[in-house]
Every structure is written in structure tokens, then in C-alpha cells.
A and B are shown apart, each in its own frame.
Chain A
Amino acid sequence: MSIRFILNRLFYTFIMFIFVVTLNFALFRLMPGDPLTMVSKEVASSPEGRATLEHLYGLDKPMFQQYIDYLKSMTTFDFGISFHYKQPVINILGDKIKNSLILGIAAVPLGIAIGIIGGIIASSRHGKKTDVIITTSSMIIYAIPTFWFAMILLMIFGVKLGWVPINSMVTPGANFLNNMEYIKDLLHHLIVPVISYSVAIFGSYLLIMRGAMIDVFTEDYVLTARAKGLKEKQVIMRHVVPNALLPISTTVIYSLAIIFTGAFSIEVLFSWPGMGKLMVESVNRRDYPIMQASNYLIAVAVILANFIMDVVYGYLDPRIRIG
């Protein structure tokens, strides 16, 4: 892996970053409505009051100066004060991201692993009963709306059987004697959201992996590998899987990036205090600073993921390494 290759990707990443950030700036200024009225109807109704507010929020400065200020605050993670919480946005986001990460790190890799392994098994028995069963059932599960499936799970295991709590991350109002107790309670709350989340995502991985594997199986080098006397398992693991992983790596890294943004329907349904739930609530409350900051963070996460993907792809596929 050459330094030049990484620098090259880094350069394009930077260009993309500037583009997205600028778009984020323009988008909110093109939106209809008056930000000052949003802050205070009484003050904004008088001309003097308007001038004071404009000055306070820096809206009297020329557009270019506003843009520079905006860039400065974005790169220093200074997203202003939330309308709803009356607290710096960054303080609120930090906690919510942490909660989303707990859920995402437990669920997303699990879903990806199930999908990839299922895809390998299905494709290696291509056209046989096992393949038909795996592929059809995962397609059906994939087609079920996440919120519906999660609600059914919640109804059975939470309400009917009472095995798991039905909402939030930890038992509200509980005092934990030590960390072990806290983690136990957290894991108890995690079970159903993690199952729903991974079930929601594994289907697409399974289908992509299966398709990629079936493609690779027809390649000449697979015949070469068999002719060498490798056992079918060795042929699959050494020759087919490494090549089939190339198309799926893009999707995997993108999914890892959006762990930060949380899973909207799952978080809302289970009252999981993460980014997804926060964003849905902020839209309802017209909490612009939080929306803008979340938008920005999603964009940064995706851009970073793209960069990482470029580098990883170069590692996985020697043909991509340039320069």
C-alpha cells in the first residue's frame, strides 16, 4: 500500500468534505421561514429587536463571512445551543452517539456476520434444498418491515412472556450497586433490539454475498484450485470467499459508518435514547441546531467510511492499488 495512494484518496475525501459541508450550509439558508421568528416571536416583531437578534446570531455579517464562521464552528464541533434542551448541542450528541454505538456495535456486526456466513453456505449448495431454504427464508424476513417484526418480538417476549423489558436502555430510576449490575441490566435491555436490528439487515448481506459467490464459482481459477486437489472447503475459503468479499466490502463499511446515526425505527420503537430517536424528535421539535449537527455528523461519517473503504479495498484487491 503506497503512501501516494492514501494521500490521493485523502485529497478526494477532503474535496468531498468541503462540498458536503457547503451544501449543508446552503440548504438551511435556502429553507423557507425566518430563523429569528423561531427564536423569539416577540423580540423579532420589532425592528430594533430584529437588529439585536441578527447581530447576536451573526446574521448581519456578509454571507461569505457567515460561511467562514460556519466552517470554523463545524470543524471545532461547536454546533451552538439546542432550542429544546437549552444546552450545547455537542453535550447532547455525545451521550446519544454513545448509546447508538452500544446498540449498533452489538447488532450490526452480528447481522453482517450472519449474512455473509449464510451467503457462503447457500452459495456452496447452489440450487440444492439448503440454498432454497436459506435464500427464500432470508428474502421473506428481509421483506418484513422492521418495526412490525420488532413489535411482534416485543409483544411475545416483552408483554406476553415478560422475559425482557419493553423499553429504554436501563431500568428507569434504578440504582446500580456496581458496574456489573449496570451491564447486566443493559444487556437484558439489549436482547430484543439487537435481534430486531440484525434481522433487519442480514438479508441484504446474505443475498449480495450469495450472488457474489455464485459469480466467483464460475471463474477459471476456481477450476484450477479444484484441479490442484484442494478440498471443496479449501477451495471456498481460500479462493472463492476472498474474491466474493470484494463487492460486499463496500456495503459493510457503509453500514459500519451509519452505526453512528442510529437505527431510526428500532430506537424509536424501543425508546432507545440514541441518535436515531433524537433526530426523529428534533425534526418534530424543529430543533435546527441538532438537525444541522446530526446531518453534518452523518455526512462526515459516510465520507470517512468512503475513505476507509478505498484504503481497505486497495488492500483486498491488489488490482486497485495505484501509484
Chain B
Amino acid sequence: MSEVLLEVQNLKTYFTITKGKVKAVDGVSFTLNKGESIGLVGESGCGKTTTALSVIRLLPKEGNVEGGKIIFEGNDITNLEEEKLSDFRWKEVSMIFQGAMNALNPVKRVCDQIAEPILLHEKISKTEAMKRVKELFELVELDTNLMYSYPHEFSGGMRQRAIIAMALACNPKLIIGDEPTTALDVMVQAQILDLINDLRKKLNMSMIMITHDLSIITETCDKVAIMYAGKIVELGETEEVVTNSLHPYTKMLISAFPNIYGERKMVDSIPGDPPDLYNPPEGCRFAQRCHMVNSKVCIPEESPPLIDYTGEGHFVACHLWRNSNV
């Protein structure tokens, strides 16, 4: 059993709006071992980014962790003071943002932006920091002659590589990738994913990968957590979850992807919309869209707990499973 790096226990992150509270993340738990990677998958607004931002404590000011615990290397960081947070961020946990968007400051040179966290967290000179930036450029396979360029002089793929270099700058133990390949074309996407995979293995880092694209998870993650409406509905080894999915939502999510070996047909979509998290429905939150719904158990009962029915680390939160097996 390898060492646990991050433990998220029953995390509840709510956004305060004028009419009340939006329960963006409502009771999410998972653990991540050293060197392991987990994928958070789900549609827009299911709480995957909010979960990640809660871990690095970067929620917008309306957002608040209202319950649960985040334990990093045995220390509870849920209520870490602002002062200590500055030391924690980037040094322990860094983030890979969407590079095609505006994650790099347009008026600063790329090398300065990468050197910034190094100079902030380590007591080294500017020249040494620049030497590190050069090494990082080599690591992510960027031309070191371009170090002194500005972000607009880079292509989307190059910018994404620079952002990865920036995330690695302080040798963090955990990297959070927030849709790192969205908005890149598929060829570049594949290159960036390969790069992330290689570097993660080389540097033995843990990773949380956030995406709505299951195929990215199967390429990069050991474990996957399928999220729906602020809750994890299925959690387990990636291969196990994808090939042997238990939750109806996961099944529908997988059938929403085209199969290149199968018959050519329109992919299935999941009809309906996710529920309003300001006023989430009673019972299972997926019940309204579930084709297997059993109105006697799914709706009247409480929200189903995440339980490992097989005893092999494959968790699922579904009343139907509970009733058939317990």
C-alpha cells in the first residue's frame, strides 16, 4: 500500500448567492496516493473544477468550504491561514490551466512568468531561476531560444507546454490539470497528453485531471471519479469503471462517445438537464434523467451513499445497486 498524499473527506463547497446557497460540491470524498492520478469527469457544472479549486483553496469569494476535510500529507489544510496558504500553493500543489485561453499574462515574458513562482518560493538568485526555466523548457520540449518571447508569439500547443513548465517549476507533489487540452486540436492534444504522462512518471507526481472527455482520462489516469450534480456517482480503477461501469449515468456517458470500431451511427445523448443545485431534488439526483429509474426507491429515499459493492475498490452510488445486492 503506497502512501496517501491527499484525502478529501465529505467535502461540501457552497456558493452563496442572493437567494441562498448553491451546493456545487456536496459530500465528495476520495483519496489519492503518491504518484497516482485521478480523473474527475462530468458535464459542465457538476462540481469538478470547484472540487479542485477547493483543494488549492482558490475558490472565488462567493464560494466557501462549508463542511468536510481536505488532508494533504497528513495535515488538515481546510482552514489554513492566508499566510501559510501562499507557501502551500504551487510549492505543494500547482495547476495546469487551459493554455489556449488567458492563463499567461500577455504583457510579461514567458520566462519571467515561469521564474516568478521559483523566486517566490525558493531563495535563489534571478540568474539561477533563469537557468531552471531553461531546464524546464528543455523538459517540456520547447526551444530554449524562445524563452524571452511573449505569450502571443506562441502557438496554442507551445503555450500549453509553457504552462506545464510553469506548473513543474517548484517540483510540486500534486498537479491539478483543469481541462489542460480543451481548445487544442486533437493532434496537439495527443502530444500534450503524452508529455503530461511522461513527465508524471519521470517525476513521480500525483495528479488530479479535470475533464469532460473520458478518453483523456483513460489515457492519463489510474483512477476515475464520475461526478454528477455535485456528487461522485462512481469511483474506481479507470479500466474497471470504463469497461464494467455500474452506475446508469456512467453507462450513458460512455455510450455518448462514438466507438470507432463499432457501427457508424449517431451517438446517444443523455436527455434532460442536470438539476438546479440551488434546490437539488430529493433522493438520487440523477433520477429524473435515469432510464432505469425505479420511482419506488430512487426518489423517496435519501441520496444514495457511495459504496464498494464488489469489495474490490469499485464504488457506486445507486439505489438500484443497493437494493439488488444488500
Binding between chains A and B: yes
Q: Interface on A for B, CB 8 Å cutoff?
A: 219-221, 223-231, 238-239, 242-243, 246, 316-319
Q: State which of A221, A228, A318 has its C-beta within 8 Å of the C-beta of B117.
A: A228
Minimum CB–CB distance from A66 to chain B (whole Å) comes to 49
Q: Which of B109-123 contact A (CB under 8 A)?
A: 116-117, 120-121
Minimum CB–CB distance from A247 to chain B (whole Å) comes to 13
Q: State which of B89, B98, B102 has its C-beta within 8 Å of the C-beta of A228.
A: B89
What residues of A have a CB within 8 angstroms of the CB of B106 in the complex? 221, 243, 317-319
Q: Interface on B for A, CB 8 Å cutoff?
A: 56, 58, 85-91, 94-95, 97-98, 101-108, 116-117, 120-121, 150, 152, 166
Is B87 in contact with A223, judged by CB distance below 8 angstroms?
no
A229 with B107, Cβ < 8 A, contacts A220-B97, A220-B101 known:
no
Is B103 in contact with A229, judged by CB distance below 8 angstroms?
no
What residues of A have a CB within 8 angstroms of the CB of B90 in the complex? 227-229
Secondary structure call for the A interface: helix
Is A229 in contact with B105, judged by CB distance below 8 angstroms?
no
A242 to B105, CA, bound (A): 10
Q: State which of B85, B91, B105, B152 has its C-beta within 8 Å of the C-beta of A243.
A: B105
A70 to B121, CA, bound (A): 65
Is B152 in contact with A319, judged by CB distance below 8 angstroms?
yes
Is A221 in contact with B103, judged by CB distance below 8 angstroms?
yes
Is B108 in contact with A229, judged by CB distance below 8 angstroms?
no
Is A229 in contact with B86, judged by CB distance below 8 angstroms?
yes
A302 to B90, CA, bound (A): 47
A225 with B105, Cβ < 8 A, contacts A220-B98, A230-B120, A231-B86 known:
yes
Smallest CB gap from B104: residue in A: A221
Minimum CB–CB distance from B77 to chain A (whole Å) comes to 13
Q: State which of B95, B98, B152 has its C-beta within 8 Å of the C-beta of A318.
A: B152
Q: State which of B97, B108, B120, B150 has its C-beta within 8 Å of the C-beta of A242.
A: B108
Minimum CB–CB distance from A124 to chain B (whole Å) comes to 12
Smallest CB gap from A317: residue in B: B107
Is B103 in contact with A230, judged by CB distance below 8 angstroms?
no
Is B107 in contact with A227, judged by CB distance below 8 angstroms?
no
Closest 4 CB pairs of A and B: A229-B89, A318-B150, A220-B102, A221-B105
What residues of B have a CB within 8 angstroms of the CB of A231 in the complex? 86
28 contacts between A and B (CB under 8 A): A220-B102, A221-B106, A223-B58, A223-B97, A225-B105, A226-B58, A226-B89, A227-B58, A227-B89, A227-B90, A227-B94, A227-B97, A228-B94, A229-B87, A229-B89, A230-B116, A238-B116, A239-B108, A242-B105, A243-B107, A316-B107, A317-B106, A317-B107, A318-B106, A318-B107, A318-B152, A319-B106, A319-B150
What residues of B have a CB within 8 angstroms of the CB of A242 in the complex? 105, 107-108
Is B105 in contact with A239, judged by CB distance below 8 angstroms?
yes
A242 to B113, CA, bound (A): 14
A242 to B103, CA, bound (A): 16
What residues of B have a CB within 8 angstroms of the CB of A224 in the complex? 95, 97, 103-105, 166
Smallest CB gap from B92: residue in A: A229
Q: State which of B86, B98, B104, B150 has its C-beta within 8 Å of the C-beta of A230.
A: B86
Minimum CB–CB distance from A10 to chain B (whole Å) comes to 24
Smallest CB gap from A229: residue in B: B89
Is A227 in contact with B95, judged by CB distance below 8 angstroms?
yes
Is A229 in contact with B102, judged by CB distance below 8 angstroms?
no
Is A229 in contact with B150, judged by CB distance below 8 angstroms?
no
Smallest CB gap from A221: residue in B: B105
A221 to B120, CA, bound (A): 17
What residues of B have a CB within 8 angstroms of the CB of A238 in the complex? 116
A223 to B178, CA, bound (A): 12
What residues of A have a CB within 8 angstroms of the CB of B101 in the complex? 220
What residues of A have a CB within 8 angstroms of the CB of B98 in the complex? 220
What residues of A have a CB within 8 angstroms of the CB of B88 in the complex? 229
A226 to B117, CA, bound (A): 10
What residues of A have a CB within 8 angstroms of the CB of B97 in the complex? 220, 223-224, 227
What residues of B have a CB within 8 angstroms of the CB of A221 in the complex? 102-106
A229 to B82, CA, bound (A): 10
What residues of A have a CB within 8 angstroms of the CB of B120 in the complex? 228-230
A243 to B88, CA, bound (A): 27
**Additional A-B contact list (13), CB under 8 Å, known A228-B90, A229-B87, A238-B116:** A224-B103, A224-B166, A227-B56, A227-B90, A229-B85, A229-B86, A229-B91, A242-B105, A317-B106, A317-B107, A318-B106, A318-B152, A319-B106
What residues of A have a CB within 8 angstroms of the CB of B56 in the complex? 227
Minimum CB–CB distance from B236 to chain A (whole Å) comes to 29
Minimum CB–CB distance from B294 to chain A (whole Å) comes to 43
Minimum CB–CB distance from B174 to chain A (whole Å) comes to 12
What residues of A have a CB within 8 angstroms of the CB of B107 in the complex? 242-243, 246, 316-318
A243 to B117, CA, bound (A): 19
Q: State which of B104, B117, B166 has its C-beta within 8 Å of the C-beta of A229.
A: B117
Minimum CB–CB distance from B142 to chain A (whole Å) comes to 18
What residues of B have a CB within 8 angstroms of the CB of A220 in the complex? 97-98, 101-103
What residues of A have a CB within 8 angstroms of the CB of B116 in the complex? 225, 228, 230, 238
A127 to B241, CA, bound (A): 45
Minimum CB–CB distance from A75 to chain B (whole Å) comes to 38
What residues of B have a CB within 8 angstroms of the CB of A319 in the complex? 106, 150, 152
A229 to B120, CA, bound (A): 8
What residues of B have a CB within 8 angstroms of the CB of A223 in the complex? 58, 97, 103
Smallest CB gap from A242: residue in B: B107
What residues of B have a CB within 8 angstroms of the CB of A225 in the complex? 105, 116
Question: Taking each of A227, A231, A238, A243, which has the highest tally of chain B beta carbons within 10 Å of its own beta carbon?
Answer: A227
Minimum CB–CB distance from B184 to chain A (whole Å) comes to 15
Minimum CB–CB distance from B136 to chain A (whole Å) comes to 14
A83 to B12, CA, bound (A): 81
